[in-house]
A = this chain, B = another copy of it.
Amino acid sequence: MTSSGLFVWEAQNLGKSARTRARLMDAAVQLFARDGFEAASVNEIARVADVANGTFYVHFRDKDEIAAAVAFGIAQGVARQLDDAMADETDALARIGMATRRFIDLASSAPDWGRALFRAVWFFTDLRGSTANYLRADLELGVRQGVITVEVDDFLILTFAAMTMNALFAQLQGEFTTDAGSRVAELQLRMLGAPPETAREVAWREIPRLQLHLTPLHRPAAAPAAE
């Protein structure tokens, strides 16, 4: 229940169909977060969304399709909000550190969504690649600025992403309530080649916290359910 309703919020001015679709997506977020993708059943998604089970299939072909829609919606929202927040920053290390930290803040500010995102990333390997493009650009910037001394390739990016997702997981577990973002960012920066003091300074520097509020998710991508 925590932070549900984000899709519905977004859809409140759209048609009835869009609102039902959004209700289903919010329900799916909740259940994917709680039970994981495999364990969540279509019937329960419908039940939580408070629609008949058949209604699910009016909007989505199957569980995969709603999962993709949800994952895409979250990822898009997070990415957009991160983008906005970092528009002015030109220092590669700062950008990288802030992206990690803000991503974790954002995703853990709405735990259901964070968890759903976490599961989704695990499930849809594609998602990783696509999201990673932002990261790749910053890493290459760092190489040009001479502050990154490792080879930038897919393996590095996957490793970097794995570290970030692990930190998100830890924070969502509540095992490291507040600091997971800074801690992992510091480790990442060290790994990339930043001097220890720089890594520490960038990773712990005060930044305004972001909250996952909905404006970023402009539309759930009015995808055609039927075919």
Residues of A within 8 A of B (CB): 38-39, 122, 149-150, 154-156, 158-159, 162-163, 165-167, 170, 175-176, 180, 183-184, 186-188, 190-191, 193, 196
24 contacts between A and B (CB under 8 A): A38-B38, A122-B122, A149-B196, A150-B186, A150-B187, A150-B190, A155-B167, A155-B175, A155-B176, A155-B180, A155-B183, A158-B166, A159-B163, A159-B167, A159-B183, A159-B184, A162-B163, A162-B165, A162-B166, A163-B163, A187-B191, A190-B191, A190-B193, A191-B191
Q: In whole angstroms, what is the CA distance A165 to B187 when docked?
A: 17
Shortest distance from the beta carbon of A139 to any chain B beta carbon, whole Å:
13
Closest to A161 in B: B166
Known: A154-B175, A159-B166, A190-B193. 16 other contacts (CB 8 A): A38-B38, A122-B122, A149-B196, A155-B170, A155-B175, A155-B176, A155-B180, A158-B170, A159-B163, A159-B167, A159-B184, A162-B162, A162-B165, A187-B191, A190-B191, A193-B196
Shortest distance from the beta carbon of A154 to any chain B beta carbon, whole Å:
7
B contact residues around A149 at 8 Å (CB): 196
Q: In whole angstroms, what is the CA distance A150 to B166 when docked?
A: 18
Q: In whole angstroms, what is the CA distance A149 to B89 when docked?
A: 29
Closest to A189 in B: B191
Q: In whole angstroms, what is the CA distance A184 to B184 when docked?
A: 16
Closest to A36 in B: B38
B contact residues around A166 at 8 Å (CB): 158-159, 162
Shortest distance from the beta carbon of A153 to any chain B beta carbon, whole Å:
9
* Residue of A159, A167, A183, A184 with most chain B CB atoms under a 10 A cut-off: A159
Shortest distance from the beta carbon of A125 to any chain B beta carbon, whole Å:
8
B contact residues around A196 at 8 Å (CB): 149, 193
Closest to A167 in B: B159
B contact residues around A193 at 8 Å (CB): 190, 196
* Residue of A122, A165, A175, A191 with most chain B CB atoms under a 10 A cut-off: A191
Q: In whole angstroms, what is the CA distance A162 to B164 when docked?
A: 10
Closest to A184 in B: B159
Q: In whole angstroms, what is the CA distance A149 to B163 when docked?
A: 19
